[in-house]
A and B are shown apart, each in its own frame.
Chain A
Amino acid sequence: MYREDFPMLKQDIIYLDNGATSLKPQCVIDKMVDYYENYSANAHRGDYDISFKVDLEYENTRELVRDFINAKRKEEIVFTSGATDSINLIVNGFFANLLERGDEIILTKTEHASNIMPWFRVAGNTGAIIKYIPLDENSFVTLDNLKSVVTPNTKVISIAHITNVVGDVRPIKEIIKFAHENNIFVVVDGAQSVPHMSIDVTDLDIDFLFFSAHKMLGPTGVGILYAKYELMNNIEPINLGGGMNESFDSTEKMILKEIPTRLEAGTPNIAGVIGFSEAIKYLQKVGMDNIEKREKELRNYLIEKLLTIPHIDILNLESDSGIVAFNVEGIFSEDVSYYLNKYNVCVRAGNHCAKLTKDVFGIANSLRVSLYFYNTESEIDSLVELLKNKDKIMKEML
């Protein structure tokens, strides 16, 4: 349906690693090329036409992002270099100043490294304590289990909306409501959810949200940080330098600009941010609800087929997203991905940057198929056909 818009799909590959990064439609690539070819100037500083156009285009993307997640104000959107950069800014620019000894940070063991390691360090530096929400038998988060770890010392809950290995969709609306009743901040890792479903930060009442453009048809090197206006205004810049200061003098006095510019020091990824505008428009054209629906169909189709293969163990049968984790009995996941690669099938093997997940699954490594709306039933058929014959895998994986 949309496949002809994606140059990568002209190659003979079956791309099932969308959780790692998505493919890019031609319009995104063209938009970036257009910048480099026709108005390749810097942002925020020019007094000439093409630089003015850069500012317009750059700010236009900010407005599109605002609208896409239904934020109230443009100042609530800051561009970073990626989801990882965004969460590091949230943790180091905001929570590092807020947390005190004995305060509690609540995470889960199925978070991506990016939503764990910055917290480890801030906990080490401040004396705050990290706690994990116990997961249920499906490795899901429930509100009751969250309640079981919250205490009067809890300051922040930082969790993925959808996790990148288990693929479970967390009940963030209930979690946020409960958290706010108890004066707890909620940080939402939207890296795996914003690309796949409609997210309304105002309706959900999210405090902080972060995600990456490259997992949602956009360029690499662009991340988004959303924070409520008053919170954003209290994030202390980690990077100081050009673009974000109003003035400084030899008395070492610095006056900084307003948000969001204050948090975007240095020359940003202009081509990437501008290119990202086309990704958002594209997603809006397809429709986020249609995307979610289509991925559910594909997921159900894949699961149904995998269940007919006796030597396949699905690890997240009950999950509700386009992420399917499984193993081939008796064969190491990387050997299977190596075999699939011989047939140009791209799937991810390993621990998927979620190294604490092994405490939960009891399994450190798995294969992960992560779908996007441009995948097809026929691609899934090809994958399943290749997985059916275990002897063939054994024979050809070397």
Chain B
Amino acid sequence: MDELKREIILENFQNPYNKEEVKSEDYKLVNTRNPNCIDNIDLYIKIEDNIIKDIKFNGEACAISTSSTSIMIKNLIGKSIEDAKRYIQNFYNMCDELEYDEDLLNEGIAFQDIYKQSNRKNCALLPYRGILKALEDYEN
């Protein structure tokens, strides 16, 4: 992994964005975990009028999952559900070696090469699986 990407991941691991437990009723809680490893993350999501107002997270997870969650949150706050889904799909595409738009990703680009480590791809995607579930729940 090149130096810049490693730095982005480490920075988000050591100083994760919005990592705190939330008790407020305004937030919906979704838990996301990988069956084959021990990553276990709670996402707290506040959506109002189809806009993601805030996301926080808590839990125990490896450097890849933690930083991926931190970066995802930074990118999704303020987005409409539709834009959020676009961001998420684009991130999935990158991990699945499909066509994707680099310019949309911001710090998410740090996981550009994660597909080469198949066991860690699931770590990077962990928060995305959780948020998708939350968005689905919101829409239904």
Instruction: Tell whether B60 is near chain A: CB-to-CB under 8 Å.
Output: yes
Contact of B62 among A335, A351, A394 (CB under 8 A): A335
Report whether B38 and A364 are in contact in the complex, using a CB–CB cutoff of 8 Å. yes
Instruction: Tell whether B104 is near chain A: CB-to-CB under 8 Å.
Output: no
- CB within 8 Å of A: which of B65-81? 66
User: Considering the chains assembled together, what is the distance between the CA atoms of A349 and B61 in angstroms?
Assistant: 12
Report whether B63 and A398 are in contact in the complex, using a CB–CB cutoff of 8 Å. yes
- Number of A-B residue pairs, CB cutoff 8 Å, is 35
- Chain A 375-398 against B: per-residue CB contact (8 Å), 1 yes, 0 no? 000000000000000000011011
Q: What bracket does the count of chain A residues touching chain B fall in?
A: 10 to 19
Report whether B38 and A351 are in contact in the complex, using a CB–CB cutoff of 8 Å. yes
CB within 8 Å for A334 and B62 given contacts A350-B37, A350-B38, A364-B38? yes
Q: What bracket does the count of chain B residues touching chain A fall in?
A: 10 to 19
Instruction: Tell whether A212 is near chain B: CB-to-CB under 8 Å.
Output: no
User: Considering the chains assembled together, what is the distance between the CA atoms of A351 and B63 in angstroms?
Assistant: 17
Contact partners of A397 in chain B: CB under 8 A? 63
Contact partners of A334 in chain B: CB under 8 A? 37-39, 62
Report whether B6 and A365 are in contact in the complex, using a CB–CB cutoff of 8 Å. no
What's the least CB distance linking A387 to chain B, in Å? 16
Residue of A nearest to B1 (CB): A398
Instruction: Tell whether A332 is near chain B: CB-to-CB under 8 Å.
Output: yes
User: Considering the chains assembled together, what is the distance between the CA atoms of A335 and B61 in angstroms?
Assistant: 9
User: Considering the chains assembled together, what is the distance between the CA atoms of A350 and B40 in angstroms?
Assistant: 11
What's the least CB distance linking B42 to chain A, in Å? 14
Instruction: Tell whether B45 is near chain A: CB-to-CB under 8 Å.
Output: no
- Chain B 1-26 against A: per-residue CB contact (8 Å), 1 yes, 0 no? 10000100110001000000000000
Known A331-B63, A334-B62; 4 more pairs at CB < 8 Å: A334-B39, A335-B64, A338-B120, A398-B63
15 A-B contacts (beta carbon < 8 Å): A331-B63, A334-B37, A334-B38, A334-B39, A334-B62, A349-B38, A364-B40, A364-B60, A365-B60, A394-B10, A397-B63, A398-B1, A398-B6, A398-B63, A398-B64
